[in-house]
Structure 1
Amino acid sequence: KEQAKMNRTIHVLGLGTVGKLIAHSLAGLPNGPPVTLLMHRPLVMQQWHDEGAAIKILINGEYHVQTGFHIESSADFQRQDPLQRFPGFGPNLEHSAEPPNTVIDSLVVTTNPCITLSAISSIKHRLRKTSTICFVQDGLGIIEKMNSRIFPDPHDRPTYVLGRITHDVKSTDQHFTIVENRIGSFLCAKLPQVVETKEEYFCPVINRTDFSWSPQARHLVGSLIRTPGLNAESLGHKTFFVRQLRQLAVGAVIGPLSVAYDCSNDELLYDYAASQNIGHLVAEICHIILSLPELAKFHKLEQKFNANLVENIVLRSLQKSGRNSSAMLQDIRAGRRTDIDFYNGYLVQRAMELGVPCPRNHTLLHLVKGRQARRSRQDNLYIP
Structure 2
Amino acid sequence: MYTTTSTLAGLRPRVHIIGLGSIGTFAAHSISEILSGPTVTLLLYRKSLLREYRLVGSHIQFESRGGKKISSRGYEIETLSDSHWYSTPPTASPNKNYWKVTQTPINNPIVCVKGIQTVSAIRSLAHRLHRDSNILFLQNGSGVIETLNDQLFPDTKSRPNYLIGVTSHSVTLNKSFDITHTGFSATSIGAVPRDPDTNILETQSNYLLDIVPRSTTLNARSYSYTDILQIQLEKLSVNAFCNPLCALDDSPNEFLFTMPEMRQAILREI
The two structures share one fold, judged by TM-score above 0.5 = yes
Q: Max radius of gyration: which structure?
A: 1
> Within the alignment, does 1:67 sit opposite 2:73 as a pair?
yes
Distance across 2 between alignment mates of 1:246 and 1:101: 38
> Which of 228, 250, 260 matches 1:264?
250
Distance across 2 between alignment mates of 1:7 and 1:179: 28
Q: CA RMSD in A?
A: 2.8
User: Aligned AA for 2:72?
Assistant: Q
> Which of 28, 36, 53 matches 1:48?
53
How many Å apart are 1:281 and its aligned residue?
4.9
Distance 1:267 1:224, change over 3 A: closer
Which residue is 1:11 aligned to? 16
Distance 1:103 1:89, change over 3 A: farther
How many Å apart are 1:208 and its aligned residue?
3.8
> Within the alignment, does 1:25 sit opposite 2:11 as a pair?
no
Which residue is 1:237 aligned to? 225
Contact 1:40 1:77 in 2 (8 A): no
Alignment deviations for residues 165-189 of structure 1 (CA, whole Å, 9 cap, x no partner) = 111111114x211111222111100
Distance across 2 between alignment mates of 1:232 and 1:267: 28
Residues 301-320 of structure 1 aligned to structure 2 (within 5 Å): none
Contact 2:241 2:266 in 1 (8 A): yes
Which residue is 2:164 aligned to? 162
SS at match of 1:193: coil
Distance across 1 between alignment mates of 2:104 and 2:206: 21
Residues 252-291 of structure 1 aligned to structure 2 (within 5 Å): 252-256=240-244, 262-264=248-250, 281-285=266-270
How many Å apart are 1:250 and its aligned residue?
2.2
Distance across 2 between alignment mates of 1:249 and 1:89: 50
State the identity %. Answer: 29
How many Å apart are 1:66 and its aligned residue?
1.0
Distance 1:233 1:270, change over 3 A: closer
Distance across 1 between alignment mates of 2:159 and 2:29: 28
How many Å apart are 1:227 and its aligned residue?
1.5
Distance across 2 between alignment mates of 1:230 and 1:120: 24
Which residue is 1:178 aligned to? 179
SS at match of 1:148: helix
Which residue is 2:216 aligned to? 228
Contact 2:166 2:231 in 1 (8 A): no
Distance across 1 between alignment mates of 2:135 and 2:232: 18
Distance across 1 between alignment mates of 2:188 and 2:156: 26
Paired residues in the alignment total 250
SS at match of 1:73: strand
Which residue is 1:147 aligned to? 149
> Within the alignment, does 1:76 sit opposite 2:82 as a pair?
yes
Which residue is 2:238 aligned to? 250
Structure 2 unaligned segments of length 5 or more: list them. 1-10, 85-91
SS at match of 1:164: strand
How many Å apart are 1:76 and its aligned residue?
2.5
Alignment deviations for residues 293-350 of structure 1 (CA, whole Å, 9 cap, x no partner) = xxxxxxxxxxxxxxxxxxxxxxxxxxxxxxxxxxxxxxxxxxxxxxxxxxxxxxxxxx
Which residue is 1:312 aligned to? none
TM-score by length of 1: 0.59
Contact 2:134 2:160 in 1 (8 A): yes
Contact 2:12 2:38 in 1 (8 A): no
Contact 2:83 2:124 in 1 (8 A): no
How many Å apart are 1:89 and its aligned residue?
8.7
Which residue is 2:188 aligned to? 187
TM-score by length of 2: 0.82
Which residue is 2:62 aligned to? 57
Distance 1:280 1:108, change over 3 A: same
Contact 1:41 1:77 in 2 (8 A): no
Structure 1 unaligned segments of length 5 or more: list them. 1-5, 79-86, 196-206, 286-384
Distance 1:223 1:270, change over 3 A: closer
Residues 92-103 of structure 1 aligned to structure 2 (within 5 Å): 92-93=97-98, 95-96=99-100, 100-103=102-105
SS at match of 1:230: coil
How many Å apart are 1:253 and its aligned residue?
2.6
State the structure with bigger RCO (CA 8 A, min sep 6), 1 or 2. 2
User: Aligned AA for 1:17?
Assistant: S
Distance across 2 between alignment mates of 1:188 and 1:169: 18
Contact 1:128 1:157 in 2 (8 A): yes
Distance across 1 between alignment mates of 2:243 and 2:181: 24
How many Å apart are 1:31 and its aligned residue?
1.3
